[in-house]
């Protein structure tokens, strides 16, 4: 179901645990999904294994590290996206204690016909998913 991939420099187990809990809480609070359905995957890299702006990053450098979140989820409202981006960014910088680090956050939405679990697509597995529309009306702002 919904999941988040986080690409960042290697960090402590405690920091990953705190970040996983914080982004899960934010996602469930904003979208209404159950926390059990939300997964977080960390892809971490070490010194000289990633770059930003053509500059290889290492722990003692002043360079900005490559930071990337990819949220895979069903279609959600624009206001929910805005709230998620704000909270994910806030939690990331506060947990890692790096106020100057700012992740790029991509939201990859999908209809329930494009996700499979337990050998079936979601719209064939759960009645709620079969009846939920993929598209929503954009808010007039």
140 occurs within a structural domain: no
Q: Does residue 136 lie in a domain region?
A: no
137 belongs to a structural domain: no
| Enclosing domain of residue 63 | 3-110
The CATH number of whichever domain residue 22 belongs to comes to: 3.30.429.10
CA distance 57 to 52: 7
Q: Are 69 and 103 in contact (CB under 8 A)?
A: yes
Residue 39 lies in a domain: yes
Total structural domains within the chain: 1
Residue 98 in any domain: the answer is: yes
Alpha-carbon distance 92 to 98, whole Å?
8
**What is the model's pLDDT at position 138?**
45
pLDDT in tens, 50-97: 998 899 999 998 888 999 999 999 888 899 999 999 999 999 999 999
Does residue 138 fall inside a structural domain? Answer: no
């Amino acid at each position: 179901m919904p999941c988040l991939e986080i690409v960042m420099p290697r960090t402590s187990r405690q920091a990953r645990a705190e970040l996983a809990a914080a982004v899960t809480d934010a996602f469930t609070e904003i979208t209404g999904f159950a926390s059990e359905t939300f997964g977080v995957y960390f892809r971490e890299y070490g010194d000289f294994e990633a770059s930003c702006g053509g500059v290889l990053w290492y722990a003692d450098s002043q360079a900005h590290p490559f930071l990337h979140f990819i949220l895979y989820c069903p279609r959600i409202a624009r206001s929910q996206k805005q709230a998620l981006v704000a909270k994910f960014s806030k939690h990331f910088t506060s947990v890692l204690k790096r106020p100057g680090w700012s992740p790029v956050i991509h939201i990859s939405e999908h209809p329930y016909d494009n996700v499979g679990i337990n050998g079936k697509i979601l719209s064939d597995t759960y009645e709620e998913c079969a009846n939920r529309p993929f598209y929503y009306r954009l808010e007039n702002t």
